[in-house]
Amino acid sequence: MAETDADSEVDRYRAPALDKGLDILELLAGVDGGLTQAEIAKGLQRSPNEFYRMLDRLVRRGYVTRLEGDRYSLTLKLFGLAQLHAPVRRLVSYATPLMRELADRSFQANQLVVFDRGSAVVIAQQEAPGYWGISIRVGSHISLFDTGSGHVLLAFRPQAERLMMIAEQAQRDDRQGQSAEFFARLDQVRERGYEMMSSLQTAGVYNLSAPVLGADGRSIAALTVPYITLVNAPEAPDITHTIQLLLATAEKLSQLAGSDVKQGRL
């Protein structure tokens, strides 16, 4: 009797449409390369017609994308939502003292950036200790295509995830960033272990960016120093030494995030 009452209580609060959408998301999360509508129906033991409208809504809301060959695959939107939840707050709390130490030792500002729904987002910022430094507001959205942070976030992801991130970014600013040269650059960044590039936004600034890696070796954040030469501070580290300090800090953050992957070294 107790089981019957419990079952009735559960049935009373059922939301079939929500259940159907969650079933689709959970099924797609467990496969690579996506599934056709017929394969989704078979996997969930339902009629294909039952899922057409739900799939259409999930695509329109950005949780699922439609690939060539009429296949459906998850986007990174759920990942982006998760990035703004408790794990990101914990990452910022871990990062703050390390970012402050990096700023003090390098004489440079630094920032922590994550990927969120189509762009790179600054979630923490540490000012330079002296009079001069380049800072960017927390909450700022920056491009994946022409920033050191964006390159690092892409470089330390599998190719399939790169393509999804690029597609979401392209929807925002109409730039594809998918040339062979672009992907070759990402591979170079991954092999080297960090990005060093002239800023495409501010003259005289070099973007030095290193990945914060999760337990699976994927980038969960980018730690970036917008390096400027300080002519009035001869004791300030040069750019080579600053990269070493950046890599050491990123490795400490990666260890706190559960990674045992060693960062690049000069």
Question: Can you list the domains of the chain with their CATH numbers?
Answer: 2-74 (1.10.10.10), 80-256 (3.30.450.40)
- pLDDT tens per residue, range 75-88: 777 766 655 555 66
Cα-Cα-Cα-Cα dihedral sign, residues 113, 115, 116, 119:
positive
Mean of pLDDT values over 218-230: 92
Give one DSSP letter per residue of 152-192, joined into a string: HHHHTS-HHHHHHHHHHHHHHHS----SHHHHHHHHHHHHH
pLDDT beyond 70 at 177: no
pLDDT beyond 50 at 2: no
Query: Which pLDDT value is given to residue 265?
Result: 43
Query: Which pLDDT value is given to residue 80?
Result: 61
| Residues comprising the chain, all counted | 266
Judge contact between 228 and 122, C-beta under 8 A: no
Cα-Cα-Cα-Cα dihedral sign, residues 265, 144, 166, 24:
positive
Q: 102, 100, 136: which is closest to 246 by C-alpha? A: 102
Share above pLDDT 70 across residues of the chain, in percent, rounded to a whole number: 84
Distances in whole angstroms, Cα of residue 96 to Cα of each of 10, 50, 111, 115, 127: 44, 49, 10, 19, 11
Judge contact between 132 and 228, C-beta under 8 A: yes
- pLDDT tens per residue, range 112-124: 999 876 778 999 9
| Confidence band of 262 (pLDDT split at 50, 70, 90) | low
pLDDT beyond 50 at 188: yes
Provide φ and ψ at 212, rounded to 5°: -100, 115
Whole-prediction pTM value?
0.68
Q: How far apart are CA 252 and CA 262, in angstroms?
A: 10
Quote the tokens at residue 230: 């300080």
Judge contact between 126 and 140, C-beta under 8 A: no
